[in-house]
């Protein structure tokens, strides 16, 4: 006999989110999500779609017409980028210096690409000379890199140089901006990035569900002139174009509440001003960095590739990082995370993203972590 489940009302704990994402959601975004639904083809929703695209262009710093929220988490915008741009038999160059370069490789392989790698140790950025050498050796068609590697806390600093190398070889550049968009300087047009994707739950402080993607005309021309359709129906940009392009015709039911949410999250960025927002992340994360350094701890990446939105703090010898992480969660309702892959157990990953990037959170973090390490 099937019994009725005795499940109580939802009462999640009230955490402060300073891990690798999601970050704390701004109350205005939560409010926007709880407003009534309209249909995904309602004239009022078409207006909302226009707003989202205009705001997203502002935050990506691009004039790209093809700028849309992809239904799903950051991996959805990532899969849309790679699955559409990479055609079977093409060579795809990806980095080996972090967890998300590895995910790019898996996606490129599933798209039928042949993956080649440019190496750097985990915790370091790619060197331009190594990228140049990889291009000379492999002549890749597509080059993917991670602007803000959440697994290592490394910001790739030499982006214009990397895109220059790629374009000199007629390749297309895909940038993972999941942990940089809206928090760390990013200039899609000025840096000549062909395709950039992100997630809303990091520096935009919005729940996951609708993930930013932008493509240049040149990249979209490649996508629209593919010999074979991309393997995913759901993420096929030539079909999504019908909904997010001029026609506004049905493809799939947009996640209405998530589109409301990202509209409000992007509006908050525009109100603050994108440069001011980058400045706030630098200032608040700078205080966090100074605070942990005053405790005798250091950051793993060097200052020239420090990523303010994700601070990779080296755990002191003899300390079990996981114990300290459990301690701050239990005693302070504060979420931080451990390292991944090659850095598992060696670092704390402390996010400073969007609405979480506030001085009072830094004070809480420094007090809580200090106590956990006593």
List % helix, strand, coil for the chain (3-state, nearest 5).
45, 15, 40
Answer yes or no whether residue 351 interacts with ligand PLP by CB under 6 A: no
Comparing CB distances to ligand PLP, the nearer of 81 and 372 is 81
Whether residue 214 contacts residue 207, with contact meaning beta carbons closer than 8 Å, is answered with no
**Residue 344 structure tokens:** 């598992």
Binding-site member from 24, 176, 194, 264 for ligand PLP (CB under 6 A):
176
Answer yes or no whether residue 179 interacts with ligand PLP by CB under 6 A: yes
Answer yes or no whether residue 182 interacts with ligand PLP by CB under 6 A: no
Q: How far apart are CA 95 and CA 369, in angstroms?
A: 32
Residues 6 or more apart in contact with residue 335 via CB below 8 angstroms:
15, 16, 17, 18, 19, 328, 329
**Rule CB under 6 A: which of 26-85 touch ligand PLP?**
73-75, 78
Nearest approach, Cβ of residue 292 and ligand PLP (Å): 21
Comparing CB distances to ligand PLP, the nearer of 74 and 183 is 74
**Rule CB under 6 A: which of 288-317 touch ligand PLP?**
none
**Rule CB under 6 A: which of 207-226 touch ligand PLP?**
208
Q: Give Dmax (Cα) for the chain.
A: 68
Binding-site member from 49, 174, 175, 178 for ligand PLP (CB under 6 A):
178
Answer yes or no whether residue 95 interacts with ligand PLP by CB under 6 A: no
Q: How far apart are CA 101 and CA 129, in angstroms?
A: 18
CA distances from 202 to 51, 83, 114, 251, 276 (A): 21, 23, 31, 27, 17
**Rule CB under 6 A: which of 312-341 touch ligand PLP?**
none
CA distances from 86 to 146, 319, 374 (A): 17, 44, 51
Q: How far apart are CA 320 and CA 152, in angstroms?
A: 18
Binding-site member from 21, 95, 140, 354 for ligand PLP (CB under 6 A):
21
Total residues interacting with ligand PLP, rule: CB under 6 A: 14
Contacts with ligand PLP by CB under 6 A lie at: 20-21, 73-75, 78, 100, 146, 150, 176, 178-179, 199, 208
């Amino acid at each position: 006999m099937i019994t009725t489940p005795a499940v109580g009302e939802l009462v999640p704990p009230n955490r402060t989110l300073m891990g690798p994402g999601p970050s704390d959601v701004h109350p205005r975004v939560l409010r926007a999500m709880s407003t009534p639904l309209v249909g995904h083809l309602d004239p009022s929703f078409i207006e909302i779609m226009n707003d989202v695209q205009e705001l997203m262009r502002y935050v990506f710093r691009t004039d790209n017409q093809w700028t849309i929220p992809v239904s799903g988490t950051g991996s959805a915008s990532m899969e849309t980028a790679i699955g559409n741009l990479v055609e079977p038999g093409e060579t795809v160059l990806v980095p080996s210096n972090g967890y998300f370069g590895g995910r790019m490789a898996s996606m490129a392989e599933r798209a039928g690409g042949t993956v080649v790698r440019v190496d750097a140790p985990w915790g370091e950025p790619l060197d331009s000379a190594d990228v140049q050498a990889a291009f000379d050796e492999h002549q890749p068609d597509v080059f993917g890199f991670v602007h803000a590697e959440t697994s290592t806390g490394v910001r790739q600093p030499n982006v214009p140089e990397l895109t220059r190398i790629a374009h000199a070889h007629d390749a297309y550049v895909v940038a993972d901006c999941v942990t940089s968009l809206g928090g760390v300087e990013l200039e899609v047009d000025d840096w000549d990035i062909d395709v950039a994707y992100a997630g809303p739950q990091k520096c935009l402080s919005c729940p996951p569900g609708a993930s930013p993607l932008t493509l240049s005309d040149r990249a979209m021309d490649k996508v629209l002139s593919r010999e074979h359709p991309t393997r995913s129906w759901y993420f096929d940009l030539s079909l999504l174009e019908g909904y997010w392009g001029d026609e506004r015709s049905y493809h799939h039911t947009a996640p209405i509440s998530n589109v409301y949410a990202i509209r409000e999250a992007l509006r908050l960025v525009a109100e603050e001003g994108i440069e001011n927002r980058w400045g706030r992340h630098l200032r608040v994360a700078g205080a966090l960095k100074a605070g942990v350094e005053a405790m005798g701890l250091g950051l793993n990446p060097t200052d020239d590739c420090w990523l303010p939105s994700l601070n990779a703090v080296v755990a002191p010898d003899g300390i079990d990082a996981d114990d300290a992480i459990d301690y701050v969660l239990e005693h302070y309702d504060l979420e931080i995370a451990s390292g991944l892959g090659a850095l598992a157990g060696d670092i704390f990953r402390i996010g400073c993203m969007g609405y979480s990037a506030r001085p009072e959170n830094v004070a809480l973090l420094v007090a809580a972590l200090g106590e956990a390490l006593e």
